[in-house]
Amino acid sequence: MLKKSIFLVIFVSVSTLVFSQRKHGDFQRFSDRVYFGGSLGLAIGNRITQIDVLPQGGIWIFPQWSVGLGGRYTYRRERFSFDPSSTSIKPVTTTIWGYSGFTDILPIPDFNEAFGVKLHGGFVIHGEFENLYLDRNFFDITSTQGMGWIRMYMVGGGWRQRIGDRAAVNFLVLWDLTDNRYSPYTSNPILRFSITF
């Protein structure tokens, strides 16, 4: 707990020090409205190995509203999956491909500008749809459908911390509204961390 608190204090202090004088929403050129980024994921455990690559790009329509597109590639290996046809236990792998569309609304994009506190971040409201191409049998062994597309809708919110002129770190908590039985997410809500620049 102490390590997390120290990390948070250092992170906020450094982001305040490296922050430039430009205000959020000060778009002088079209390229100032466009942003890119995403997240990488790695999970290694006794039973599961998973690698995620989630690139994204977006555009600020207004200073407090953006829309964008994202991609997804996931490699997943389960070391001890049960095969009901042979009563044996063997490793199984799968890949997931997909794309998403999202929107972000920042009611108060910068607490320093709004309230004069030394915190260059604000709350974000996030909505997203995600289309994934995956093996349904991997996530539900009773399924007879095999490879196919599934669609999920997620909503949530979080914190967007600016760490430079254009860069930001986003912490999101998302809820899957569809609760699809083939979902690759093992928990609901879903925690997401991403960087944009």
CATH number of the domain encompassing residue 144: 2.40.160.20
Domain count, the chain: 1
Query: Which among 102, 94, 15 has a CA at the least distance from the CA of 54?
Result: 102
Is 69:99 a contact under the CB 8 Å cutoff? yes
CA 153 to the chain's CA centroid: 13
Alpha carbon of residue 185 to chain centroid: 12
Poorest-confidence range of 11-15, 63-67, 115-119?
11-15
Helix (H) or strand (E) holding 98: strand 88-105
Domain that holds residue 86: 2-196
Report the amino acid identity of residue 179. D
pLDDT tens, position by position, 106-152: 999 999 999 999 888 999 999 999 999 999 988 887 878 889 999 99
- Write out pLDDT tens, residues 143-182: 788 899 999 999 999 999 999 888 999 999 999 999 888 9
